[in-house]
Chain A
Amino acid sequence: MKKVYLDNAATTKTAPEVVEDMKPYFLEKYGNASCLHKWGQEARDAVETSRELIANKINALSEEIIFTSGGSEANNLAIKGVAYQLKEKGNHIVVSEFEHPAVLNTCRALEKKGFEITYVAVDKQGFVNLEQLKNSITNKTVLVSIMHANNEIGTIQNLEEIGKICNENDVLFHSDCVQSLGKVGVDVKKFNLSLATFSAHKIHGPKGIGVLYVKKGVKLCKQIDGGPQEFNQRAGTENVSGIIGFARAIDIITEEDVRIMRKMRDYLVEELLKIDGTSLNGSKENRLCNNVSVAFQNVEGESILLSLDDKGIAVSTSSACTSSKLESSHVLKAIGLKPEDSHGTIRFTLSKYTTKEELDYVIESVGEIVKNLRRISP
Chain B
Amino acid sequence: MSFQYSDEILRRFRNPKNAGEIKNPDGIGMVGNRSCGDVMHLYIKVENNKIVDAKFKTLGCAAAISFSDLLCDMVKNQNIEDALKLTKDDLVKKLGGVPAPKLHCSLLAVDALHKAIEDFKNKK
Name B residues whose Cβ lies closer than 8 Å to a Cβ of A.
1-3, 10, 13-14, 16, 19-20, 30, 34-41, 56-62, 64-65, 99, 101
Give bound CA distance, A376 to B59, whole Å.
Answer: 7
Q: Return 29 A-B CB contacts under 8 Å, by A number.
A: A299-B59, A300-B37, A300-B38, A300-B60, A300-B61, A302-B61, A303-B60, A303-B61, A303-B65, A306-B13, A319-B37, A320-B37, A321-B38, A322-B1, A322-B2, A322-B61, A324-B99, A324-B101, A325-B101, A338-B35, A339-B35, A339-B37, A340-B35, A376-B16, A376-B20, A376-B65, A378-B30, A378-B41, A378-B59
Interface of A, secondary structure class, is: loop
List residues of A (340-378) whose CB comes within 8 Å of B's CBs: 340, 343, 375-378
| B-side contacts of A303, CB under 8 Å | 13, 60-62, 65
Min distance, Cβ B9 to any Cβ of chain A, angstroms: 10
Interface size in chain A (residues, C-beta < 8 A): 25
| Beyond known contacts A303-B60, A338-B35, A376-B19: 14 more, CB 8 A cutoff | A300-B37, A300-B64, A302-B61, A303-B65, A321-B37, A321-B61, A322-B61, A323-B2, A340-B34, A340-B35, A375-B19, A376-B20, A376-B57, A376-B65
Complex-state Cα separation, A166 to B41, whole angstroms: 54
- Picked from A298, A307, A323, A339, the residue with its CB within 8 Å of the CB of B59 is A298
Asked if A310 is an interface residue, CB under 8 A from chain B, the answer is yes
Most chain A CB inside 10 Å of its own CB: which residue of B1, B16, B64? B1
Are A324 and B2 in contact (CB-based, < 8 A)?
Answer: yes
CB pair A306 B101 closer than 8 Å: no
Given the complex, which residues of B lie within 8 Å of A310, measured CB to CB? Answer: 14
